């Protein structure tokens, strides 16, 4: 049965990229296997970037190969920013790749070393390489709401980047609250602008929780018909090139919210908790999710989905 909401757990990429502890490939593979066993059908497992800049992503090719993307039914995402990264992803067996482009020039220069337009231009050869290899492409628009350097992001810029990504073949576009400063009004405006510009492209949200607004933003997006969300187990994460960025909305917290509202995710909270407990033993600080703090969540009630049909 298809889930009502698709959660992509980004622990192995966004969740780990700010951690002082660099987890070996074997530990990342164990976490991935645990997440898959818990019912996740979409994981972001690494990034083909310069390991000198993001050492936590070294070994992403080995993680991807170890998960055998040609054989698993789950989508295993990796990030690329250049044609060279796209080629390395293909060599590692990638079947789904994400492009990330910042809507704001300030963050684009800090994150990708180029303006937004230059970063988009640089991805055109990568898009062609991936299309020729039959690799599925998704897009993500970073700083889609607020930029740590440029302030509030004009929704028209978000729409322009999203449209370019769709033109490169992106089947889904994720709007990313890179520094966790979005609010429901901004989420509503950005989604509306992208829909007006890009038509019926499927949209998702990549939320951070710096100011405690991730759940409110997710709830707002659900009301607007968004059914794809990125999250990281335990609330880990953040961007090394975005001052003030903190962790992602926690997978365990988001699953709890959705289940309490009668929406199906296909994720087993008990198995997810076991993976979270294992993760807690690997890092040198407490996890950031609410459930990691309070412990076991109350059982979800037998209820009806928001459309009135039985769960």
d(CA 39, CA 90): 26
- Tokens 């337009």 locate to 117
**Beta strand 202-206 with 228-231: parallel, antiparallel or unpaired?**
parallel
d(CA 279, CA 227): 27
d(CA 14, CA 158): 21
Q: Which residues of 100-116 are buried (b: 16+ CB within 10 A; e: fewer)?
A: bbbbbbbbbbbbbebeb
Residue 239 designated active-site: yes
154-157 long-range contacts, CB within 8 A, separation 24+:
155/189, 155/190, 155/192, 155/193, 155/194, 156/193, 157/103, 157/104, 157/116
Q: Report helix, strand or coil for 158.
A: helix
Number of residues that make up the chain: 311
H or E, element range at 202: strand 202-206
Residue among 302, 297, 206 nearest 261 (CA): 302
Residue 190 near residue 158 (C-beta atoms within 8 A): yes
Catalytic residue among 239, 249, 255, 291: 239
d(CA 122, CA 207): 26
Residue 175 near residue 100 (C-beta atoms within 8 A): no
Question: Which positions are annotated as active-site residues?
Answer: 239
């Amino acid at each position: 049965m298809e889930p009502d909401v698709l959660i992509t757990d980004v622990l192995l990429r966004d969740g780990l990229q700010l951690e002082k502890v660099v987890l070996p490939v074997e530990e990342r593979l164990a976490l991935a296997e645990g997440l898959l066993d818990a019912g996740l059908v979409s994981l972001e497992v690494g990034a083909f970037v310069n390991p000198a800049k993001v050492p936590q992503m070294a070994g992403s090719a080995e993680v991807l190969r170890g998960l055998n993307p040609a054989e698993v039914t789950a989508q295993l995402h990796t990030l690329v920013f250049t044609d060279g990264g796209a080629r390395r992803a293909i060599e590692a067996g990638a079947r789904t790749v994400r492009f990330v482009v910042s809507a704001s020039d300030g963050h684009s220069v800090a994150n990708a070393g180029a303006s937004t337009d230059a970063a988009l231009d640089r991805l055109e050869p990568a898009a062609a390489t991936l299309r020729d290899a039959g690799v599925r492409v998704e897009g993500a628009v970073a700083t889609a709401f607020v930029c740590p350097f440029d302030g509030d992001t004009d929704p028209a810029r978000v729409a322009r980047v999203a449209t370019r990504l769709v033109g490169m073949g992106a089947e889904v576009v994720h709007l990313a609250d890179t520094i966790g400063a979005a609010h429901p009004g901004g989420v509503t405006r950005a989604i509306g602008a992208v829909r007006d510009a890009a038509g019926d492209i499927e949209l998702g949200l990549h939320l951070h929780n710096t100011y405690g607004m991730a759940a409110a933003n997710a709830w707002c997006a659900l009301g607007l018909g968004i059914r794809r969300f990125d999250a990281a187990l335990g609330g880990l994460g953040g961007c090394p090139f975005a001052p003030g960025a903190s962790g992602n909305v926690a997978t365990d917290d988001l699953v709890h919210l959705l289940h309490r509202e009668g929406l199906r995710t296909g994720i087993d909270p008990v198995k997810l908790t076991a993976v979270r407990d294992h993760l807690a033993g690997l890092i040198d600080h407490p996890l950031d999710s609410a459930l990691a703090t309070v412990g076991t969540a109350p059982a979800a009630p037998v209820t009806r989905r928001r459309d009135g049909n039985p769960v």
